[in-house]
Amino acid sequence: MWNSCCFTIQHKLLVAQFNTCCRLQVMNTAGRNLRKVYITRRIPPDGLKAIQQAGRIVLPPININYISVSGIHALYCLLTEKIDKEVLDSAGPSLKVVSTMSVGYDHWKNLKTGKLMNSEYLQYLAHLEQLLNRKPRRKMEVTRAIINIFRFSGWGTWKPLWMCGNGLKGSTVGILGLGRIVTLEELAKQSDFLVVCCALIPETQGICNKQLFSKMKGSAVFINTSRGAVVNQEDLYHAFVNGQIASAGLDVTVPEPLPTNHPLFKLKNCVILPHIASATVETWNAMAALAAHNLLAGLKGEAMPT
């Protein structure tokens, strides 16, 4: 209950700050010839404040439409928006920069990324600290059976080893997406925890499949915080059924949200979260500011601060 109340308070705070910032922006930019920045959704206030200093914010409608983006100079989007050639053509030649408040840019459909300004690198660093803080927590959830404790509503029939799980001390943590350090096969064989944080590109789509799971330890924990499409979910399910892995924590799935009748929800050692690995006010404010500063640099024709 406390967490729920806390989240509600934080959400209302962000919305209130967004509305206040926009009202002040309208007053402060009256009569000034500023660049038009289209923001697709309400974003955290640190990003808005940065843009407010140099641009005229175009408030987002319910959905992106081609009329609303006409004549804009910059487009600030999130991973929930599909940005394609039609959007860019509708914006016209005035559009100089597109920035996304996300690590991935697979929502930029069929575009040459060289035409766009992407803040992927530094945003990844902004994500990194929060993701690393959250991933061990997810490991604890799946290895110490916290979810099952809630399912059984508390104490149940207590026994000395009831609901015991594996600790992190002495474990080998493998990270898929950190670099070419060992082969994928070696990574799978050695890892007690296999954490997936690679970008979704053609080479990584479905990379976590039955071949990978068959090489993993039967006691291993599989964690995905990158994109759902890097995992073959059917192969993951069968890896559970066949005892090839012990547990999994998924922050991302295909589709999102995953249907409630999906077989993965029936697995007692599979924890599925609604894409919230970076969900703190501090992290989202940092992400918003990073994307904003890169956008402003693009408008000026300068190198991004990344």
Which listed residue (127, 238, 275, 293) is catalytic?
A: 275
Helix (H) or strand (E) holding 298: helix 281-300
Active site residue 293: no
Give the separation between CA 189 and CA 172, rounded to whole angstroms.
10
CB 69 within 8 A of CB 87: yes
Q: Which of 237, 242, 246, 243 is nearest to 269 (CA)?
A: 246
CA separation (Å) from 103 to 118, 225, 250? 9, 11, 17
Residue 207: helix, strand or coil by DSSP?
A: coil
Give the separation between CA 181 and CA 183, rounded to whole angstroms.
7
Give the separation between CA 281 and CA 266, rounded to whole angstroms.
32
Q: Give the Cβ contact number of residue 10 at 10 Å.
A: 14
Place of tokens 């904003």: 292
Place of tokens 């029939």: 157
Burial 181-197 (b: 16+ CB within 10 A, else e): eeeeeebbebbbbbbbb
Q: Give the Cβ contact number of residue 89 at 10 Å.
A: 12
Residue 176: helix, strand or coil by DSSP?
A: strand
Residues noted as catalytic: 275
